[in-house]
Chain A
Amino acid sequence: MTIDLPTAFRIRHLRDESPTVRTFILDGALHAEPGQFIMAWIPRVNEKPFSLVDDAPITLTIARVGPFTEAAHRLREGDRLWVRGPYGRGFAPLPRPAVLVGGGYGAAPLAFLARRLRAQGVEVSVALGARSARDLVLVERFQAAGCSVHPATEDGSLGHRGLATEVAERLLDERPDAALYACGPEAMLERLARLCRARGTPGQFSMERLMKCGLGVCGSCDRGGLLVCRDGPVFSAEQVLGAWHTSPQAFGLPLSAGGEGE
């Protein structure tokens, strides 16, 4: 069931994940797939897409990166935030070991996915990348779900010094039968998609684009003929690498989905 018009929910709980990232737990629930997104509205301010970190209760992790998210960060527990959705195609959880790769606040939809995978009894390893230890987000959520968490920081302040993709490669070496699920910067996703293609690993990738309608009509989130809001935000490796266009099925590929910030 999708909520078509923005609907007010009270903020039940706020939690600071890092100096610039805050998690909003709302007083209400949706029925969503991990990787789907909602549009969050603040009247007379703006409306932006965010991945669900959980659907019951509605949970969003919002990085302070622009005027809308600054307004969101000014909200306090008990204030209202308006939500419509969920939209898009989410991740399709597979019955095999899972390697999750999150770059920055790309961890958001993966936390939801991790909980679902663990509920199905799937073994989940998570590579989380950030600039520094204090920029890592949602670590406790992954741990509470029973995942093994492998941080990577560019400054080496926690875990592997370097990129989450390097950790992911090691995790895939350890579990060659694993499926990979990723969300983060496009360059990271492209690198992981190439890795999946080379190794024959099933991969699902949640992408981010400027979105307006979220309904698959305005064309703002076009990515080479694919609509991130409706065909995605979760895509296959072929779609991430742009190879869909040479396929006879071009737009008939089975797509799965998620969504993102400013």
Chain B
Amino acid sequence: MTTPDLSVSLCGISLRNPLVLASGILGTSAELLERVARCGAGAVTSKSCGPTPRAGHPNPTVLAWGHGLINAVGLSNPGADEEARILRDAKARLAPLGVPLIASIFAETVAGFGEVARRVAEAAPDFIEVNISCPNVEAEFGRPFAADARDAAAVTAAVRRAVSLPIIVKLSPNVPDIAAIARAVEAEGADAVSAINTLGPGMVIDTDSGKPILANRTGGVSGPAIRPIAVRCVYDVSRAVRVPVIGIGGVACGRDAAEMIMAGATAVGIGTAVYDRGPEVFAAIGEELRAFMASHGYTAVSQMRGLAHDD
């Protein structure tokens, strides 16, 4: 029997396997992005970058609450110009490994998204991921753009005008109809969508002091606890749009990755699992996925994609 082929094509760009480092995990430096690639990721996403440097929230910013993580890092980033330098360095390190680079961006305004996209595009990443769904800066930025189809569409259109690179728009699960948001961004030229960003926001209270533990009080919930929601969102989104979907949310092993693909994902984001299993999680999940495919008679990832859609 032939060894299962893990490679996938995302917007015409080849990934050696469908496992993508999700934004916000380990993506702060060129060296870390290279490390994750060497650990077996099929593509890597940098931590979201905005127009100007931000320190983010004070600590505590990330907690292991028992069934995953809750975080409110607060979009700490070095600003678009320094980020472009990091991305250029990262691209040079990743190119020989054949691992595509996804540059994640955010901004406070629609025009700001276009501006950051243009500056980051100068570093020639393979994709731009548009983060319209961070739940942790609401006090500052107001409701995330991902909460409204018109806002999401306007951001997508601004980035589309600014760059010719493939655009991925990252969606929030914290909406009543994620498929409607997906259709809106596809109509404005998104080449792919990723779903989901963290769930919530949630809160963890220290019962000794009676105070929320996160400095931001609330934070985005991730990890195994949210996987059924992520799978449902990917199922809904992939039935609503023609563009490929990167399925993200609580994937911790090869069987979880297969489930996400069966929900309709072309690629699968890995984030919180890095906490449980270290950066080596990428090679491990890759091998688990290969073993799963072999034991179930799949020779290509595409044979599993969207299986849940058929009645």
Contacts and interface: CB of A to CB of B under 8 A. Distances in A.
Contacts of B209: 8, 43, 80, 82
A222 B31 contact: yes
A219 B47 contact: yes
B174 interface: no
Given A80-B208, A216-B278, A46 B65 contact: no
Contacts of B65: 4-5
Given A216-B278, A218-B73, A225 B29 contact: yes
Interface stretch (B56-64, B106-114, B130-138, B229-237): B56-64
Contacts of B38: 250-251
A48 interface: yes
Interface string B30-70: 01101100110000000100000000101111111110010
A224 B89 CA distance: 12
Contacts of B211: 43-44
A8 to B, nearest CB: 4
A214 B272 CA distance: 14
A225 B28 CA distance: 9
The secondary structure that dominates the B interface is loop
Contacts of B56: 212
B278 A212 contact: no
Interface string B262-291: 000000000110110011000000000000
B109 to A, nearest CB: 26
A215 B275 contact: yes
A56 interface: no
Contact of B26 (A212, A217, A250): A217
Contacts of B71: 213, 218
A260 B69 CA distance: 23
B149 interface: no
B59 A225 contact: no
A117 interface: no
A168 B211 CA distance: 47
Interface in B63-95: 63-66, 69, 71, 73, 76
Contacts of B251: none
B62 A216 contact: no
A82 B208 contact: yes
Contacts, number: 105
A217 B66 CA distance: 16
B57 to A, nearest CB: 9
B61 A213 contact: yes
Interface residues of B, number: 40
Nearest to B214: A47
A6 B206 contact: yes
Given A8-B209, A43-B209, A251-B38, A217 B69 contact: yes
Given A6-B206, A219-B27, A230-B278, A212 B61 contact: yes
A214 B71 CA distance: 12
Contact of B206 (A5, A216, A220): A5
B215 interface: yes
Contact of A251 (B27, B28, B39, B271): B39
B75 to A, nearest CB: 12
A262 to B, nearest CB: 11
A251 B73 contact: no
Nearest to A220: B28
A5 B32 contact: no
A41 interface: yes
Contact of B60 (A39, A217, A230, A250): A39
A65 to B, nearest CB: 15
Contacts of A219: 25-29, 32, 47
Interface string B123-165: 0000000000000000000000000000000000000000000
Interface string B207-240: 0110101010000000000000000000000000
A68 to B, nearest CB: 9
Nearest to A215: B275
Given A5-B206, A6-B213, A217 B31 contact: no
B97 interface: no
Contacts of A48: 59
Interface of B: 24-29, 31-32, 34-35, 38-39, 47, 56, 58-66, 69, 71, 73, 76, 204, 206, 208-209, 211, 213, 215, 271-272, 274-275, 278-279
Given A43-B206, A218-B25, A218-B61, 8 more contacts: A8-B208, A43-B211, A212-B73, A216-B279, A217-B274, A220-B76, A222-B29, A224-B31
24 contacts: A4-B64, A5-B206, A8-B208, A212-B59, A212-B62, A212-B73, A213-B61, A213-B71, A215-B62, A215-B275, A217-B69, A217-B272, A218-B61, A218-B62, A219-B28, A222-B28, A225-B34, A225-B35, A227-B32, A230-B278, A245-B31, A251-B38, A251-B39, A251-B279
Interface of A: 4-8, 39, 41, 43-44, 46-48, 80, 82, 212-220, 222, 224-225, 227, 230, 245, 250-251
